[in-house]
Structure 1
């Protein structure tokens, strides 16, 4: 049975927030469809996202733009259109997924990934690379110099290969010579990233979704379509916040930082909704070969594991409910 409280919350969200159709479609493809092979019939997709306020005209216009931006590719099968993620779209979705779903427990070792963009780099490649590096958490420490406090050189190499810039820029692996704490690092972080604005968006995220978690966790039963809608809006909002967050080590974050609480809230709400959200997706969408394939094994490793976590969710809800 559908919850009137959740219906009202969804309607309020869609009426109060300016939701980009392109961005919302990317969220649905990245969070749900990518795990099932990356493609669905366009007509099925239109039915799937209609309750999110996206009518057929808007969807058709948006997917056309996403094809131009190399996110999606279309195939005509008879009279029907089939849209799937391009290799570039899958790569971007994979990079975003790692940042969104992976549980990070590794202490920062003081290493930095640095990318220097020569003046000879074309404007087109420069813009494409800046966009990709920004999605991966890089900040500009100076004109043409982007940095990230991380030892993850594999992600950087994937981005350079994907944008065709591996032999056109100067990637460096550096290490801090100073102590790993102190004011200089925090000053640098404030110069490279707008941490105050990011922190404010985390606070807004918590205020918006904490009541939804309380309502759904107290419900006797959940509705598949509502679970799909809540999960989509949850991940749309969390992705929007998180992909502006460089996920800095503790030595560089402000003293009062709500990023961890926001992640715990997102994880708990995702665990409550994902099973029925999947059920709703599989009921509405197919491919030219028939039903969507089962989700990839990586899907079940999201947020540290999506197995039988009812007890964990209950504990998380209790903790989030009393958090400041």
Structure 2
């Protein structure tokens, strides 16, 4: 039985903030389908996202576009189409995984990663492609052709350069802060380069939006699987959007009472309340070419610090049989 308060919250969210199908499907693949192998029948996906206001035509158009953009790959078996994450899609999710589900901020010792993109070795188009990739990874452009990040992830950077074919066309340096790690000039530079005020405002908006649904979930005597799926989708769709704009700076460089910490705790709380019912719903609605959707990989249970334990509730292990 559906919860009235949760239903009202869902209805308001869907009315106030229309969802873009492409981005929503990426969220669902990354958060829900990837842990289950990354491949599902298109018909099941269409059924799954219907409560989010996406009609079959919108879903078909979106997966076609995502295939053209190399996020997904399609396979036709009989009259059915199955869509899988590509190797590129998996790499992108892998890069995002730690930033979204783990709080990777560690003690910082003043190290910086510096990427130089000299104009003589890069065309303007390639330079812009690399700039966008590095900004997405949390780097900041301090001057044209110079991007920096404190404690940047070397493996992620090398992967980006390798995929783009630019590993031999840029210069990567390691630098060290001289002086206090929390000096006023340094914090002013950080705030200017990364627009932390805008990121903080987005985190606060996330908190304001989801605080009420957390209370309703805690107070509910029973939870409906479909409502849990919709809430978890909206939760991760919004948290992913905000989190990927957060450059993941060390705590020494952040303002005091950083709202990102409150937002992460709230997201973790709601995720924990919804995950079991959602997983059962996925296993009921989705299927692969080999039959029922496999259970999530063990790594799934390490999300948000390992709070997710146990298995989904029984009753959702068999896919719906339709033509």
Regarding TM over 0.5, the answer is yes
Asked if the contact 2:106–2:250 (Cα under 8 Å) also holds between the matched residues in 1, the reply is: no
Partner of 1:28: 28
1:82-141 deviation per Cα after TM superposition (whole angstroms, max 9, x unaligned): 111111111111111110111335211211122112223234433432333222211111
In the TM superposition, 1:121-132 aligns within 5 A as: 121-132=122-133
Partner of 1:87: 87
Partner of 2:252: 251
Rounded Cα–Cα distance in structure 2 between residues aligned with 1:166 and 1:135: 18
When residues 123 and 296 of structure 1 are mapped into structure 2, their CA distance, relative to the original with a 3 A threshold, is farther
Rounded Cα–Cα distance in structure 2 between residues aligned with 1:136 and 1:224: 34
Rounded Cα–Cα distance in structure 2 between residues aligned with 1:284 and 1:227: 14
Tell me how large the CA RMSD over aligned residues is.
1.6
Q: Flag as ranges the 4+ runs of structure 1 deviating above 6 A.
A: none
Rounded Cα–Cα distance in structure 1 between residues aligned with 2:91 and 2:126: 17
Rounded Cα–Cα distance in structure 1 between residues aligned with 2:126 and 2:88: 15
Partner of 1:106: 106
Asked if the contact 1:182–1:251 (Cα under 8 Å) also holds between the matched residues in 2, the reply is: no
Partner of 1:37: 37
Rounded Cα–Cα distance in structure 2 between residues aligned with 1:308 and 1:293: 17
In the TM superposition, 1:281-296 aligns within 5 A as: 281-296=282-297
2:143 paired with 1:142: yes
Cα deviation for residue 174 of structure 1 reads 1.8
Please report the TM-score for the alignment, with normalisation by the length of structure 1.
Answer: 0.91
Task: Give the secondary-structure state (helix, strand or coil) at the position aligned to 2:258.
Answer: coil
Rounded Cα–Cα distance in structure 1 between residues aligned with 2:117 and 2:218: 49
Task: Give the secondary-structure state (helix, strand or coil) at the position aligned to 1:54.
Answer: coil
Rounded Cα–Cα distance in structure 1 between residues aligned with 2:276 and 2:132: 33
Cα deviation for residue 199 of structure 1 reads 0.9
Q: Which runs of 5+ in 1 are unaligned?
A: 310-324
